[in-house]
Structure 1
Amino acid sequence: MKKQILAFFSAALLFWNCSGQPAKNVENISALALSEQLKKDPKIQLIDVRTPGEYAGGHIADAPNIDWNGDNFEQKVAVFDKTKPVYVYCKVGGRSTAAGHKLLAMGFTEVYNLEGGILKWDAAGLSDANDKIVGMCSQEFAELIQSDQKVFVNFYAPWCEPCKKMAPYMDQLGEKYKGKLTVARLNADEHKTLVRDMKVDTLPLVQLYENGKVVWQHSGYLSEAELQKHLP
């Protein structure tokens, strides 16, 4: 009974802070829900916490850029109203979640994180139309996967932690399966047009094509042993 009582109070502490108030957490908001919120109130507090380079490559309209990994993040976000909701986003949601927790620690009362980041936003077709082609286009990709042998495609990004873990054995695939498999590793930041057109919304993404058709795919981290089960 004593153990049960201690377990109860330990669990309760997870939901209450030292001031006796319910502990706050960063809440996720979907791309569509955030879009609807912006339609209702275009002046909501929305912050892009990516790098200036990422921001320059495309961002949600009117969202200021305050780099989570940059200098003076706390000082720069202090100008926002802590009593009103604030929304944060990055590429896929990792940095913005960390930034959101920092905002709560600073006294912001309501913090929302764009679930899946701007990658989900783009995949949902919510970005402003842009005719400029960045990287490989859909036609070039279609030609790539029309091959006499199977084609392995890996969408990744240099800042993506699961991608970094997979990089050592991904880099070796071309040589290891030479003559059996065509390997294409595509940096999502350098092939934005293709990522948008294919509605890629999670990194890393691996796909195996045969005669131009996807025969297997996987989103997220994948061990080398598990990957090899699906390769010729």
Structure 2
Amino acid sequence: MKSHLLTLLFISFLSVSCKGQTANIETIPPTVFAEKISTTPNAQILDVRTPEEYAKQHLDHAVNVNWKGNDFVEKADKYNKTKPVFVYCLSGGRSKQAVAKLQELGFTTIYELQGGILKWNSSEIDVPSDKIIGICPQEYNDLLKSDKKILVDFYAEWCAPCKKMAPYLTKMQTEMADKVVIVRLNADENKTMLKELKIDELPTLILYENKEIKWKHSGYISEEDLKKQLQ
């Protein structure tokens, strides 16, 4: 009886031990992320954004494994689970979900890029490019020429908080036209100004008065709270 009990306890211990194995997961800033990649031979770098986003810009040697694709698990499962894997998206939302799934798949060391490509770009790790994407700084400054307050909203079509805010921002463009000019800029189409203003989170709202920044906010904000800032 005692022997049988010990056997059951041993099997139970093995089961718990196996299930309890956890991966070494670190969310690290761009400079550390870049350093770890440079010191890792044949680094496994997964860009978990859409193919369209990947085509516009991606880190050197990164492979596109779309988190929203139906074949994410199938593609990710082919990589070496005993070697470090580097994961990033645009701002961190999708990469967090991908990291959780990679842990389930058995990867032992996972590095996630804090803030995604947005923070990578604002950190200016890569050599600055002369190519202008979207409006240039001069054109942006021209938008600020008004005797009214100017609210600039940097958003993206894939951004959940941006989608939630879009209806009331569109409504406010008409309702508050006598007090404030609301300019909405698609972040994916205006990367030059994102880098210029060091924007690494979406949505980002910037309120100007006489061309000077009076208020800045990143992340979701309710219509009521936003209106208080615009009074």
TM-score by length of 1: 0.88
The reply to whether residue 157 of structure 1 matches residue 124 of structure 2 is no
Q: Which runs of 4+ in 1 moved over 6 A?
A: none
Q: Of Structure 1 and Structure 2, which has the larger fraction of its residues in helix? A: 2
Compute the displacement of 1:76 (Å).
1.1
Question: In the alignment, what sits opposite 1:205?
Answer: 204
Give the AA of the match of 1:155.
F
- The letter for the 1-side match of 2:165 is M
1:51 aligns to what?
50
TM-score (norm 2): 0.88
CA contact (8 A) 1:26 1:101 kept: no
> Counterpart of 1:63?
62
Greater Cα radius of gyration, structure 1 or 2: 2
Name the residue aligned to 1:192. 191
Q: Paired residue for 1:11?
A: none
Residue 24 of structure 1: CA displacement? Answer: 3.9
Q: Is the 8 A contact 1:26 1:97 kept in 2?
A: no
Shift of 1:174: 1.2
The answer for the alignment partner of 1:145 in structure 2 is 144
What residue ranges of structure 2 are gaps of 5+ in the alignment? 1-15
> 1:70 offset after TM fit, Å?
1.2
Q: How many residues align?
A: 217
Counterpart of 2:73 in structure 1 is: 74
Q: Give the match for residue 127 of structure 1.
A: 126
Distance 2:168 2:199 in 1: 22
Deviations 1:132-186 (A, max 9, x none): 2221111111111132111011111111111111111111121011122111011
Q: Which moved more, 1:116-125 or 1:132-141?
A: 132-141
Change over 3 Å in CA distance of 1:19–1:41 after alignment to 2: closer
Shift of 1:18: 6.1
Counterparts of 1:1-232 in structure 2 under 5 Å?
A: 19=18, 21-24=20-23, 26-41=25-40, 43-232=42-231
Identity %: 46
CA contact 1:151–1:181 (8 Å) conserved in 2:
yes
